[in-house]
Amino acid sequence: MSAPAAGTAIRTKSPHPSKFERAIVVGASSGMGAELAKQLAAEGAHVALVGRRESELEAVAATIRAAGGRAIVAKHDVTAYEDVPRVYEALTKELGGLDLLVYCSGAQYNPDESVYDFAQDREMIEVNVIGAIAWTQLAAAHFEAQRGGTIVGISSIAGERGRRTMPGYTTSKAAMSTWMEALRNRIARYGVNVVTIKPGFVDTAKTAHLTKKPMVISPAKAAELILKAAHRGGSPSVFVPGQWQLVALIIRHIPSFLFRKLNL
């Protein structure tokens, strides 16, 4: 809504757009991130794929381009926090602005209960929390200024409770969910759509080792549900698929003295 003469100066709140024109997907080399990138491109978005594994990113980008979509690629390790502004600025410049940022990078270890591994816990916090903060807050500052934009953070239902089987992971996802909630409370009033996604089991490399995966869905299905939530606007926090909402409600209310006895 800015007049040519007013340059970048004046922006008024704009309605939530029906489609995303320019998107960055952080953690796009595989799983949900790769699917999100493909589906966004199929909707017509110009997508920037960010991740550590350049060849995988290129492969996803090639698929997108083969289908007639537009994609660019940036090799970046989300724990190289000081690189985030440079990568963000280079990509938004190339895309000509930004409507959507998806933070999909995640580290997950499910160590045996006899293991106390600080390096793994630290990595999960660094990737799932600090990396998420570095990326989403930069987008938040720009989106607040432009009075619009969507930030999607892929957290997890695992963040609802601290679980004996995955202390580091559940802690990291609780922190990420809280961060996303705080961000929403801070900037939703400026017309920025801050979306928290809490998936249950998604059939990806991260869950390959698990034997029991109730209500498991494919990454493609997860991506579809995530985009649906992002398109809806109104800064929702959603479980993917939605049935997990009921499970989460129950889990959140199990008293601590009982919860510690459950093999969760």
Q: In terms of CB distance, is 76 or 198 closer to other proteins?
A: 76
Q: Name the nearest CA neighbour of 157 among 127, 196, 188.
A: 196
Annotated catalytic residues are: 169
Q: In terms of CB distance, is 13 or 213 closer to other proteins?
A: 13
Residue 81 CB, nearest distance to other proteins (Å)? 8
* Residues 48, 45: Cα–Cα separation, whole Å: 9
- Applying CB under 8 A, the residues found at the interface with other proteins are 1-14, 82-86, 89, 137-138, 141-142, 144-145, 147, 190
Residue 235 CB, nearest distance to other proteins (Å)? 16
Q: In terms of CB distance, is 125 or 192 closer to other proteins?
A: 192
* Residues 240, 237: Cα–Cα separation, whole Å: 10
Instruction: Please tell me the total number of residues recorded for the chain in this structure.
Output: 264
What are residue 109's DSSP bridge partners? Answer: none
Residue 244 CB, nearest distance to other proteins (Å)? 34
Residue 24 CB, nearest distance to other proteins (Å)? 16
Residue 188 CB, nearest distance to other proteins (Å)? 13
Q: In terms of CB distance, is 43 or 77 closer to other proteins?
A: 77
**Contact between 40 and 100 (Cβ < 8 Å):** yes
**Contact between 25 and 37 (Cβ < 8 Å):** yes
* Residues 124, 178: Cα–Cα separation, whole Å: 16
Q: In terms of CB distance, is 10 or 205 closer to other proteins?
A: 10
| Tokens 């793994």 found at | 120
What are residue 72's DSSP bridge partners? Answer: 48
The dihedrals phi and psi of 195, each to the nearest 5 degrees, come to: -115, 125
Residue 154 CB, nearest distance to other proteins (Å)? 23
27: left (phi over 0), alpha (psi -120 to 50) or beta: left
**Contact between 217 and 203 (Cβ < 8 Å):** yes
Helix (H) or strand (E) holding 150: strand 150-154
The reply to whether omega before 241 is within 30° of 0 (cis) is yes
Q: In terms of CB distance, is 50 or 217 closer to other proteins?
A: 50
Residue 208, judged by CB atoms within 10 A of its CB (0-12, 13-18, 19+), counts as exposed
